[in-house]
Amino acid sequence: MKLGTFKGGIHPNEGKDMSKDLPVKTVLPKGELVYPMSQHIGAPSKPVVAVGDHVLMGQTIASAGGFISADICCSVSGTVKAIEPRMTVQGSRCLCIVIENDHQYEPVPGFGEERDYTMLTKEQIRQYIKDAGVVGMGGAGFPTHVKLTPKEENKIDYILVNGAECEPYLTSDYRMMLEEPEKIIGGLKVILSLFDKAKGIICIEDNKPDAIEVISNLIAKEHRIKLQVLKTKYPQGAERQLIYAATGRKIYSAMLPADAGCIVDNVDTVIAVYMAVCKSTPLIRRIVTVTGDAVQTPQNFNVKTGTKYSELVEEAGGFTCQPEKIISGGPMMGIALFDLEVPVTKTSSALLCMSHDQVAEYEPSACIRCGRCIDACPSNVIPQKMMLCADRGDYEGFEKLDGMECCECGSCTFVCPAKRRLTQAFKQARRTVLDNRKKK
């Protein structure tokens, strides 16, 4: 089989050996649960419970606040303790519902009941996905029921399941492919039932041979599903790079994958679709990789959403030393954390605890025009020139250089010998351009 790939990219230290071989461990929350109203792209959800209410596991506690938004369901049973701003992973306060766990895990009626998706209409399937609060769990958090309702349903040719997991250190999708592959195939079949002419492609990097074997055995008799093995390279799992590597189709910043006839969902999202439609179970859990050299026993945890990160560190045996850097997510695209008393949300993928902060060790110096950033860039832009514009605040020039095509992957920063904070500057410039566009 020809390996799928793309131009550019980098090969950082994978760091996956730390956590990849231990089975996922289910942990139950000890303290209160915190559910931010903004844990997806789009309008914040609106609370539909009040302080003092008794709630059940799986109950909707907040409903979608707009067309692009998502419901939030409670992951435990207990009492609504507060509805107030709390700190989140983003480093800012956001309205949250706080639940006092009664540790009974009493479910809502119908929770976990079997459903045969082949007996459901497309509208019913989309409604069940919406009611379950499913959003993209690969990081972006785009509401899945919206993604699965494109303007022109018949123009969707491919449903891509993103099993690349190209971010270093992360192994939660890998574990799911080994431990719950039937649910991945099941979820993909549910999605395929919404798009009559589409084919499913499960995309896995070639550094996961055992996952490739498990999935290829399971799909041997599935005529609408195939496997695409991808070259191991960062950022292979980024939407544009994945679509190109698996289908040869190109998309740009102004396009949606659906414009190129594709829909991309990551492994855990597809499992969430399966659970929502076939098992009447809303999205109330998350598989989180807790790893890094500052953690005693790196491993993956099956966690109830709303659980605080500090509890996960405790479950992993605590710290081996005072970590210099803690990241929510992977080292390339994750967010630095300064407080572990923040909750796991639908989009939390990992907690990376490092004894040394390698970025802080180096001061950036002047560009030596080596061109390494250009070779590494998967978006075919010229980071070195974009940096000149970003530094000057020349946003028009930044746009003319196709700066908006940057996917903020961090590859240029990673290879830059002058340790210039390129990606950080591009994130800021892109945000300013988008804000200016909105004002116009």
Residue ranges that bind ligand SF4, judged by CB under 6 A: 367-373, 376-379, 381, 383-384, 387, 406-412, 415-418, 420, 422-423, 426
Taking phi first (over 0 means left), then psi (-120 to 50 degrees means alpha), and beta for anything else, what does residue 419 get?
left
Distances (CA, A) of 410 to 251, 330, 347, 371, 419: 19, 11, 19, 15, 12
Write out the DSSP string of 317-355.
T-BSS--SEEEES-TTT-EE-S-S-SB--TT--EEEEES
Q: How far is the CB of 131 from ligand SF4 (least distance, A)?
A: 36
Which residue bears the tokens 């991808």?
Answer: 230
What is the phi/psi pair of residue 183, to 5°?
Answer: -70, -35
Q: How far is Cα 262 from Cα 24, in angstroms, rounded to an integer?
A: 31
Beta carbon nearer to ligand SF4, 268 or 405: 405
Q: From the CB of 326, what's the least distance to ligand SF4, in Å?
A: 22
Q: Residue 78: helix, strand or coil by DSSP?
A: strand
Report residue 359: phi and psi, to 5°. Answer: -70, -45
Q: Are 31 and 102 in contact (CB under 8 A)?
A: no
**Rounded CA gap, 58 and 105, in Å?**
9
- State the nearest-atom distance from the C-beta of 170 to ligand SF4, in Å: 18
d(CA 136, CA 364) in angstroms, rounded, equals: 35
Task: Please identify, using beta-carbon distances, which residue of 320 and 432 lies nearer to ligand SF4.
Answer: 432
Shortest distance, CB of residue 395 to ligand SF4, whole angstroms?
Answer: 15
Residue placing its CB nearer to ligand SF4 in the complex, 199 or 231: 231
CB 147 to ligand SF4: min, Å:
23
Q: Choose between 83 and 230: whose C-beta lies nearer to ligand SF4.
A: 230
In the complex, minimum distance from the CB of residue 406 to ligand SF4, in angstroms, rounded to a whole number: 3
Please identify, using beta-carbon distances, which residue of 34 and 381 lies nearer to ligand SF4.
381
